[in-house]
A = this chain, B = another copy of it.
Amino acid sequence: MPFLRNAWYVAAWSRELNAQEPVQRTLLGESIVFFRDSRGAGVALSNRCPHRFAPLSGGKVRGDAIECPYHGLRFDRTGQCVHNPHGDGRIPPAARAASYPLMERYGAVWIWMGEPERAHAVALPSFDYLDERHHETSSGYLLTKAHYQLSADNLLDLSHFQFLHPQTLGSEQMAANGAATFEQAGDTVWSRRLCRGERLQAFVGSAYGMPAGTAVDRRLNVRWNAPGLLSIEVGVAPAGMPPECGRVSFSGHFLTPETEASTHYFFAFGLPKAMGEAARTLVEYAVHGLMTPFKQEDLPMLEAQQRALGGGDFWAANPVMLSIDGAAIRARRIMEHKLADELKLRQAAAIPIECRSRTATHA
Contact = CB atoms under 8 A, between A and B. Distances in A.
A48 B85 contact: no
A251 to B, nearest CB: 22
Interface string A278-307: 000000000000000000000001001100
B323 A52 contact: no
A321 B94 CA distance: 9
Of the four ranges (under 10, 10 to 19, 20 to 34, 35 or more), the interface on chain A belongs to 35 or more
A329 to B, nearest CB: 12
Interface on chain A toward B: helix, strand, loop, or mixed SS?
loop
Nearest to A53: B308
A322 B162 contact: no
Contacts of A160: 70-71
Interface in A128-182: 153, 157, 159-160, 162-164, 175, 179-180
A86 interface: yes
Given A163-B70, A319-B50, A320-B92, A308 B86 contact: no
Interface in A66-81: 67-72
- Copies of this protein chain in the complex: 3
A308 B55 contact: yes
Contacts of A50: 318-320
Contacts of A53: 304-305, 308-309, 317, 319
B86 A323 contact: yes
Q: Point out which of A50, A52, A55, A58 has the most chain B C-beta atoms below 10 A from its C-beta.
A: A52
B71 A159 contact: yes
A153 B71 CA distance: 13
Nearest to A162: B72
Contacts of A163: 67-72
A70 B164 contact: yes
B55 A86 contact: no
A119 interface: no
Contacts of A180: 86-87
Nearest to A31: B308
A184 interface: no
A51 interface: yes
Contacts of A88: 323
Contacts of A319: 50-53
Contact of A324 (B67, B71, B179, B322): B71
Contact of A86 (B92, B95, B322): B322
28 contacts: A48-B308, A50-B320, A51-B321, A52-B153, A52-B325, A53-B304, A53-B319, A54-B305, A55-B304, A55-B308, A58-B301, A58-B304, A69-B164, A70-B160, A70-B164, A71-B157, A71-B324, A72-B175, A84-B322, A86-B179, A86-B322, A87-B179, A87-B180, A90-B323, A92-B320, A92-B321, A94-B318, A95-B320
